[in-house]
């Protein structure tokens, strides 16, 4: 079973001011101050572009499909922002489709001190470019070691995250810890190790990875909801295979919605579809159905 992107790799001033800036800021599309803005993550498109997952050759299709599906924003990946022409290309599409880039997900082996200089240079560039696009968040994945990390490695991991959060603050980007399965498996050893060192760090859990890591998302929300600012939503069947769209599987989204309301969640969210095989429906229709389901169940 694929459990992380690493496993996947192994297995396979108004309108005039906006126009002058060259990209439409997220605030131009936001509703009330406490409204949950629902974005879509482009993984289903990126998954067709191993090994670096850079789907920029089809960005026009990505923007068109997410706009068609009714999303309020687009979440990208670090690989989308590394090219020298990334910012102007994104600004062009943001303005054309009136669909902001709300943030990005980022994977790095932050526990490995030997990789620290390279990761800091890379993620600093990514964060700065997100700032230029007027995005507002980045989900930080700290990297899998394929074993239980040592206390020294957890120390270094936490220090890396602290440095990254300083770069985020300088660029008006909110950083959050974004989990796959390895952070929450083994009694949440990895995530708890980071939280012990950075107790107030913001969290951006992927609720489906929680389930696959053996963690009840309702319990997680009730326990850590006070520091959750972001989340990813995805569905799966009883056999563990991913569904084509939200609401097709066995994930108890109604209970999740109830838990979020209980903790007064006011963050942001994204639907991130993933397929175990080629979908029957067009991707844009699966996105639209998922978006409509979230509106019905969560009210976003």
The encoded tokens of residue 256 equal 């999740």
Tell me the C-alpha distance between 57 and 80, whole Å.
Answer: 10
Q: What is the pLDDT of residues 88-120, one digit of tens each?
A: 999 999 999 999 999 999 999 999 999 999 999
Say what the pTM is. Answer: 0.90
Tell me the C-alpha distance between 142 and 134, whole Å.
Answer: 24
Q: What is the pLDDT of residues 141-187, one digit of tens each?
A: 999 999 999 999 999 999 999 999 999 999 999 999 999 999 999 99
Name which of 284, 287, 274 is nearest 234 in CA terms: 274
Q: What is the sign, positive or negative, of the torsion defined by CA atoms of 249, 251, 252, 258?
A: negative
pLDDT over 70 (residue 293): yes
In the prediction, which pLDDT does 264 show? 97
Q: With contact defined as beta carbons under 8 Å apart, do 216 and 37 qualify?
A: no
Q: With contact defined as beta carbons under 8 Å apart, do 212 and 183 qualify?
A: no
The encoded tokens of residue 264 equal 């007064």
Range 243-263 average pLDDT: 98
Tell me the C-alpha distance between 15 and 211, whole Å.
Answer: 43
> CB neighbours (10 Å) of residue 91?
18
Q: Which domains does the chain have, with CATH numbers?
A: 5-298 (3.20.20.150)
């Amino acid at each position: 079973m694929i459990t992380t992107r690493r496993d996947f790799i192994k297995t396979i001033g108004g309108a005039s001011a906006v126009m002058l800036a060259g990209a439409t800021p997220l605030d131009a599309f936001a509703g009330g101050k406490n409204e949950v803005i629902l974005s879509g993550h482009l993984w289903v498109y990126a998954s067709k572009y191993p090994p670096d997952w850079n789907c920029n050759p089809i960005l026009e299709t990505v923007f068109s499909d997410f706009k068609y599906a009714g999303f309020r924003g687009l979440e990208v990946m670090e690989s989308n922002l590394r090219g020298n022409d990334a910012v102007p290309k994104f600004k062009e599409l943001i303005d054309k489709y009136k669909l902001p880039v709300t943030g990005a997900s980022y994977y790095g082996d932050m526990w490995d001190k030997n990789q620290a200089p390279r990761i800091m240079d890379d993620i600093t560039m990514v964060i700065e470019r997100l700032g230029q696009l007027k995005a507002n968040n980045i989900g930080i994945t700290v990297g899998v070691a394929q074993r239980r990390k040592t206390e020294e490695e957890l120390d270094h991991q936490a220090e890396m995250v602290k440095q990254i959060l300083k770069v985020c603050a300088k660029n008006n980007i909110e950083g959050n810890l974004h989990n796959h399965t390895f952070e929450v498996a083994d009694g949440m050893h990895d995530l708890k190790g980071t939280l012990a060192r950075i107790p107030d760090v913001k969290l951006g859990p992927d609720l489906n990875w929680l389930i696959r890591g053996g963690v009840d998302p309702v319990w997680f929300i009730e326990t850590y909801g006070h520091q959750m600012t972001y989340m990813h939503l995805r569905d799966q069947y009883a056999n563990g295979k991913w569904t084509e769209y939200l609401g097709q599987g066995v994930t108890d989204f109604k209970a999740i919605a109830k838990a979020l309301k209980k903790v007064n969640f006011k963050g942001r969210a994204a639907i991130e579809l993933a397929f175990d095989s080629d979908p029957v429906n067009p991707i844009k229709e699966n996105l639209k159905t998922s978006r409509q389901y979230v509106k019905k169940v969560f009210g976003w």
